[in-house]
Chain A
Amino acid sequence: MLVVMKKSATEADMRGVKQFLVERDFDFHQSTGANRTIIGVIGETHTIDREELKKLPGVLEVFKIPEEE
C-alpha cells in the first residue's frame, strides 16, 4: 500500500500517519521527494481501513497495490 502525502503535509501530519501504522503493527518506508513524501506500507495491508487512513490530516491518496494473479 502507498500513502501519498499532500505537499502541504506538516511534520505533525507525517507523525500522525506513522503512528497510525505503527499502532496497527505495520512497517513502513518513507520516501521523501522534493515536493512530496510517499509512505510505502509493508505487511498484510488488506486489514488496513483505507478510508480511515485517507481521512488522516495531510494524506492526499492511499493506493492499494493490486495482487498478482
Chain B
Amino acid sequence: MDISDIRKHIDALDDELLKIFNQRAQLALDIGHHKKRLGLAVYDPERERKIFERMKAANPGPLDDGAIVRLFERVIDESRRLERIKTKGI
C-alpha cells in the first residue's frame, strides 16, 4: 500500500470513529436522562475506572495502556460534558 492508500484507509476509519463517538455519546446521554430521573450524580468515578480497566485488559496494541486510558479519558470527559449540558433543567 502506498501513502495515498493508507490515508484513504485512515479516512475511512475516521469516518467510522466519528459515527461510533456519536453513537456512544447518544447512549451516554440516554444514561444521563436516567441518572437525572433517579437523582444520581453525573460523575461516576467507579464506572470510569471500570471502563479504563476493561479497555486496558482488552487492548491488543500497538497503543500502550497509558495511551488507551488517555484516549478514553477524553471521550468520557466529553460525554460527561454533554450529559451535564443536555440534562440540565430536565
Interface SS of chain B: helix, strand, loop or mixed? helix
Q: Please report A residues at the B interface, Cβ cutoff 8 Å.
A: 11, 15, 18-19, 22, 25, 27-32, 34
4 nearest A-B residue pairs (beta carbon):
A22-B43, A27-B81, A15-B45, A30-B73
When distances are taken between beta carbons in the complex, the residues of chain B under 8 Å from A19 are: 43, 45
Is B70 an interface residue, CB under 8 A from the partner?
A: yes
Count of A-B residue pairs with CB < 8 Å: 28
* Chain A residue, CB-CB nearest to B76: A30
* Chain B residue, CB-CB nearest to A30: B73
Q: How far is the CA of A30 from the CA of B73 in the complex (A)?
A: 7
Checking A15, A29, A34 against B77 with a beta-carbon cut-off of 8 angstroms, the contacting residue is A29
Which residue, of B43, B49, B66, has the highest number of chain A Cβ atoms within 10 A? B43
Q: Least Cβ distance of A53 to chain B in Å?
A: 16
Interchain CB contact under 8 A, B77 and A30? yes
Q: How far is the CA of A19 from the CA of B42 in the complex (A)?
A: 10
Is B69 an interface residue, CB under 8 A from the partner?
A: yes
When distances are taken between beta carbons in the complex, the residues of chain A under 8 Å from B45 are: 15, 18-19
When distances are taken between beta carbons in the complex, the residues of chain A under 8 Å from B77 are: 27-30
Q: How far is the CA of A31 from the CA of B84 in the complex (A)?
A: 20
Interchain CB contact under 8 A, B74 and A29? yes
Q: How far is the CA of A28 from the CA of B70 in the complex (A)?
A: 14
Interchain CB contact under 8 A, B84 and A25? yes
Interchain CB contact under 8 A, A22 and B66? no
Checking B41, B69, B81, B84 against A32 with a beta-carbon cut-off of 8 angstroms, the contacting residue is B69
